[in-house]
Amino acid sequence: MKFEHVDLNNSKPLPAQVTEILERKITEREIPVGQKLPSHRELRKIFNVSINTISEAIANLSRDGYLSSRSKYGTYVVSAQKGKHAGLRTGSAICLLVCLGGTKKITGSMQFSEFISGVEAAVKENNLHLLYKTMDDTDSELSFDNKGKNIAGLIVTGHITPKNYSVIKEAGIPFILMGDVLQDEKVDAPREGVDLICNDDTGLTYLAAKHLIGLGHREILYIANRLYQYPVSVDLLEGYKKALKEAGIGFNEKLLVETANIGYEAMKHFLEKSPGVPFSAMVCSNASRYTFESIMKAFQDKNITEPKDIVLVGSDYPAGTTHLTVVYNDQAETGRKAVEKLVERLTDPDWKPQRVVLQGKLYIDEMEKETANA
């Protein structure tokens, strides 16, 4: 990040010069909404001025609604327009709305806990309040108690059904979707005027299958809760197929297992009905901790040794918490991104709705690394 130098020969006070330089960077979007500024000490070195000068400039910009500062977290850009964020910052709240769909388990996952921690941190950095609410398909309207009158926007996550989506839109509160609605088509974010943050689902399973192919596997079992029911299911399967195609490996539909929330029975059925279908590795996509453990139990009960090389995609196991290799998104960072995009929507006059696609990362188990290097 490059900044202009202050003019020591200018009669304008140094705090005013630093204020103008930073303000110009913010209004021209060189420093975007949501970005953290360098520390006071770093800015002092950049501008070659005193700490007091920097503190006064930051105070000016905060008073004008451009910045928000919080002890231990730092200073963040919260608006690209003067005075725009002041109303949001004072006494306003962000509501984390969790859609339960047909399950009650989402709030208990480790990945979800990381996501919440990211949301909470970003909300504090923006001097906002955070409220929590759940929603299921029996809710015909979105209602809040007295605290709800200060809600500026919603972060909508979980299993978002078409009915949930309809009710949320009717509420008239600005919101951001964390993932697609569970329907036949993806949400056209720009056309519908909503921000949507989602995973690169095709990329996730592509990384998983490519990794296993790199280890020498050619018969790779693919396990998913759903194979074709929703667009996300199709995208996940396409990533697996893409890796096979690039490696010159034919796609074998017999190596697909759909668990449909009953991992044990589905895996047991596959092992009983397909004894002649060989496989040496597994990609397990979007399986909860319970589902994955039940799949492993099916192997044990059938006295069949499970594959040594397994990659979990989008599971409840964060990287580093299991002996298995995982493909994952940094959920804490995703939570921060959600708040950043919602604040941008609420404060930036030039805001435009968009679909933000987050790339996944491959975390290789240390034991696997040791085996590969042996």
Q: Where are the domains of the chain?
A: 14-85, 88-198+330-357, 202-328+363-373
Strands 74-77 and 67-70 come out as antiparallel
pLDDT of amino acid 217: 96
Q: Give 196's strand partners.
A: 177, 355
Q: Give yes or no on whether 14-85 and 88-198+330-357 have one common fold.
A: no
The overall longest dimension of the chain from CA atoms, in Å, is: 85
- What tokens does 34 get? 């949501």
125/69 Cα distance (integer angstroms): 7
Grouping H, G, I as helix, E, B as strand and the rest as coil, residue 83 is coil
45/58 Cα distance (integer angstroms): 15
pLDDT of amino acid 35: 81
pLDDT of amino acid 265: 92
Main-chain dihedrals φ then ψ at residue 42, nearest 5 degrees: -65, -40
Q: What is the CATH number of domain 88-198+330-357?
A: 3.40.50.2300
Third-level CATH fold of 202-328+363-373: Rossmann fold (3.40.50)
pLDDT of amino acid 120: 93
Alpha-carbon distance values, 4 to 57, 186, 188 (Å):
15, 44, 41
CATH match of 14-85 with 1.20.140.10? no
Residue 37: alpha-carbon gap to chain centroid: 22
**E strand or H helix at 125, and its extent?**
helix 110-125
Local confidence pLDDT in tens for the 374 residues of the chain: 688 889 988 999 999 999 999 999 998 888 887 788 999 999 999 999 999 999 999 988 888 878 877 656 678 887 777 765 544 555 588 999 999 875 545 545 677 888 999 999 999 888 788 999 999 888 888 888 776 667 889 999 998 999 999 999 888 888 999 999 988 888 888 888 889 999 999 999 999 999 999 999 999 999 998 898 889 999 999 999 999 999 999 999 999 999 887 889 999 999 988 777 899 999 999 777 788 889 999 999 999 988 989 999 976 665 555 568 889 888 899 999 999 999 888 877 678 889 999 999 998 865 545 444 44
* Angle (deg, nearest 10), helices 51-63 and 14-27: 50
